[in-house]
Amino acid sequence: MDSIREPARDIPVVEDVDVLVLGGGCTGVFAALRAARLGAKVAIVEQNNAFGGTAANGFVCIWHELTDTTYKKQIISGLTEEVLDRLGRVPNGLRQRIAPEGSPFRAPYYSRYHLNTEELKIELDSMILDAGITPYLHTKYAAPFIRDGRLEAVVIENRSGRSAIRAKFFVDATADGFLGADCGMETYYHDAHFQPATTGARVWGWNQLQDPNTVLRSEENRLRIGGRAGWELPMTGAEEISTWCKSQFVGDCSDAKVLTRAEISGRAQVREMMNILRETDTHGKELSLVALSSIIGIRETRQLKCTYQLKTDDVCYGRAFDDAIGYCAYPVDVHVPQIPTTFRYLDGTEQHGLPGGGVEWVRWRTDEGPYPTYWQIPYRCMLPGKIDNLLICGRAIDTEKGAFGAARVMISLNQTGEAAGVACYEALSSGRTVQSIDIAALRRRMKDGGSIIL
């Protein structure tokens, strides 16, 4: 590749903190909050204009159940529950859907909490400011500064130019593992079948249409989408506006050119879907595009190799870990275009979407059990092998493909953020590395700060 040499120059160190979090999705914000509430000096860097990442800026507004598969035992609390409580107190900030007894929707697939994404942005702002965290919006992490083999600072770029933030500990919450990869961590892809990226849209008039999903499904070839045609939800407090997550783009969106194509293609697909509905439904002409998500929602890119890879069987058989920092009951859920979506549940059943609609149930386990009611996230799958002041949280953690299908939802990833923040504080206060912290102390501190630790 052709290249030019950038001249070396001095840049100002604009911040010197205990913990620096890169990426302000919910996992990053939760890492920052937990470290700051324990007393660490924290900064957080986000490239967009608001915190909340895919949940807020990508319109992915669904958080699943906080219980195990019995619906009776709560297994998730911490900042996930705190944010839900806060949104619940904001007018039209939160909508809950409770699965009726005997409902064909099975726990915990049920999409329980629907967040108002705009109110979420405002709540996260207040939580960050209340905790005394220094926020940087419209600020992009650009490069690590490594001296004598140690990660000492990172270079950022924003309206004020290029500068550096020095920190004792770093959290990579960029979802694509940018800092980890730049520091030499091994990256890998599950396989060529990426789960697709999806552009969020808000559309007025959807609820007046006859059977729009059947229409869109029958046009999958024209739309170049497959599997299931995504989902839509009424917007919290504005039921006539529907939030769509329906378009599909397959590719490695950690690459700049691919991401550009994905954004343009996602928007064009939304237009195409609206055109199809306008042509086929008597009320179609009344459809109006209210908003497009400010970023495309990315389900999967690359992972970072950590000290342990969470296996699909660890999830499906509910393996217990002595360093568990989080719990979840969400099933293995792998969306691959052209292949109907599969859900693998902990009770031994598996649900296959059928081409053209409908579902088929099979069993993936035929033994008598016992069947787990939740699965566990170990600290070691977010822990780099060598870099002793860096932790990974969010969807770049080390997972096998099926395990990723379960771990990628926000109720589980939020907990990796909280663990990263507490672990940084634990290392800071004990003078240890992130590898050598006392795991029992980490778990105790997480529990003291509101997490459920079983």
Site residues for ligand FAD per CB under 6 A: 22-28, 45-48, 53-55, 58, 60, 62-64, 111, 140-141, 173-175, 178, 198, 245, 297-299, 394-395, 408-411, 413
Give least dist CB 230 to ligand FAD, A: 7
**Least CB distance from residue 358 to ligand FAD, whole Å?**
21
Q: Is 164 helix (H, G, I), strand (E, B) or coil?
A: strand
Q: In angstroms, rounded to a whole number, what is the distance separating the alpha carbons of residues 53 and 6? A: 31
CB closer to ligand FAD, 117 vs 284: 117
Q: Which amino acid makes up residue 154? A: V
- Min dist CB 263 to ligand FAD, Å, is 13
Q: Shortest distance, CB of residue 297 to ligand FAD, whole angstroms?
A: 3
Q: Give CA–CA dist 375/76, Å, rounded.
A: 12
Q: Are 449 and 422 in contact (CB under 8 A)?
A: yes
Residue placing its CB nearer to ligand FAD in the complex, 284 or 335: 335
- Identity of the residue numbered 59: F
Give whichever of 175 and 274 is closer to ligand FAD, judged by the CB atom.
Answer: 175
**How far, in Å, CA of 115 to CA of 125, rounded?**
16
- Shortest separation between residue 273's beta carbon and ligand FAD, angstroms: 14
Nearer to ligand FAD, 308 or 330 (CB): 330
Residue 216, token pair as written in the block: 């869109």
As given in the structure block, the two tokens for residue 6 are: 């950038």
Please report the DSSP string for 39-82 in residue order. T--EEEE-SSSSSBHHHHHT---EE--SB-TTSSSB---HHHHH
Q: From the CB of 406, what's the least distance to ligand FAD, in Å?
A: 11
180 and 237 Cβ atoms separated by less than 8 Å: no
> Least distance to ligand FAD from the beta carbon of 330, Å?
8
Q: Taking Cα atoms as reference points, which of 173, 171, 62 lies closest to residue 395?
A: 173
Least spacing, CB of residue 259 vs ligand FAD, in Å: 11
Q: Measured from the CB atom, is 96 or 366 closer to ligand FAD? A: 96
Q: Where are the beta strands (DSSP E) in 123-237?
A: 134-136, 140-147, 150-158, 161-172, 187-188, 200-204, 231-235
Q: Which is nearer to ligand FAD, 27 or 399 (CB)?
A: 27
Question: What share of residues in the chain are helix, strand, coil (percent, to 5)?
Answer: 30, 25, 45
- Closer to ligand FAD at the Cβ: 55 or 281? 55
HSE toward the beta carbon, residue 185, CA cutoff 13 A: 31
Rounded CA separation 405/299 (Å): 10
For residue 296, give the nearest of 349, 260, 329, 328 by alpha carbon: 260
Nearer CB in complex with ligand FAD: 153/281: 153
For residues 58 and 395, what is the distance between their CA atoms, to the nearest angstrom? 15
